[in-house]
């Protein structure tokens, strides 16, 4: 049904933009495996969640492990990769994926959408005060735009609709 393409599809975007759900949907649509970078971070650091990662080695441990993972997984060419929202902080992470032909898709959500989705969520150490969160969002927005090969707006759309949009963009490339 879909044209064959041998590249990694790398989803980037702020926390709560839907990277995980869309990666799962893409994985079903394209019959490909997907990976969740945060889960690989837990495996590699011998932790169970992000709070434990931060407790063990601070944000630095997370960022260093993300670099390690991207280097390892960029060489594969048939994965859907759901990144952590902060991968844009280290240029090398997305450079590794790009160098090997990975297509970087930015799932862009409005700040209000993100806050609505993350309301009551306590799993993310960087989701603290709304003011700081907004600052982080504004700081990162141009980074996502800059690294993206494609930008998909995700506000008011269903997961499957977005996944189909991603496939369309990747196939038309
Ligand atoms: C982070 C995003 C999280 C996770 C960690 C830090 C960030 O992943 O990697 O809490 O810096 O934006 P999600 O984007 O999947 O929530």
3-state secondary structure of 109: coil
Angle at 112 between CA 121 and CA 29, to 5 degrees: 75
What's the confidence (pLDDT) of residue 77?
84
What's the confidence (pLDDT) of residue 153?
96
pLDDT single digits (tens) 139-158: 999 999 999 999 999 999 99
Which residue, judged by its Cα, is nearest atom 10 of ligand 1? 124
Average pLDDT score over residue span 92-113: 96
Residue 53: both structure tokens together: 């990662």
Average pLDDT score over residue span 30-40: 96
Of 160, 173, 172, 171, nearest to 29 by C-alpha is 160
Q: What is the mean pLDDT of the chain?
A: 95
pTM of the model: 0.96
What's the confidence (pLDDT) of residue 2?
67
From 84, 94, 114, 126, give the residue whose CB has the most ligand 1 atoms within 8 Å, as the site to mutate: 84
Average pLDDT score over residue span 18-35: 96
Q: Is the CB of 93 under 6 A from ligand 1?
A: no
Q: Is the CB of 126 under 6 A from ligand 1?
A: yes
Strand order in the sheet with 103-108: 33-36, 79-82, 9-12, 103-108, 150-153
């Amino acid at each position: 049904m879909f044209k064959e393409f041998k590249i990694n599809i790398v989803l980037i975007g702020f926390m709560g933009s839907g990277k995980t759900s869309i990666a799962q949907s893409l994985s079903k649509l394209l019959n490909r495996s997907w990976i969740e970078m945060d889960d690989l971070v837990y495996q590699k650091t011998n932790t169970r969640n992000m709070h434990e990662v931060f407790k063990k080695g601070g944000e630095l441990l997370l960022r260093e492990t993300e670099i390690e993972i991207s280097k390892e997984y960029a060489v594969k060419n048939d994965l859907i990769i759901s990144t952590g929202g902060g991968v844009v902080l280290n240029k090398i992470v997305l450079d590794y994926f790009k160098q090997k032909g990975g297509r970087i898709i930015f799932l862009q959500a409005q700040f209000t959408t993100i806050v609505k989705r993350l309301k009551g969520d306590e799993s993310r150490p960087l989701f603290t005060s709304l003011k700081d969160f907004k600052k982080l969002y504004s700081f990162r927005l141009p980074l996502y735009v800059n690294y993206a090969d494609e930008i998909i707006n995700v506000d008011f759309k269903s997961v499957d609709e977005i996944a189909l949009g991603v496939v369309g963009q990747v196939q038309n490339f």
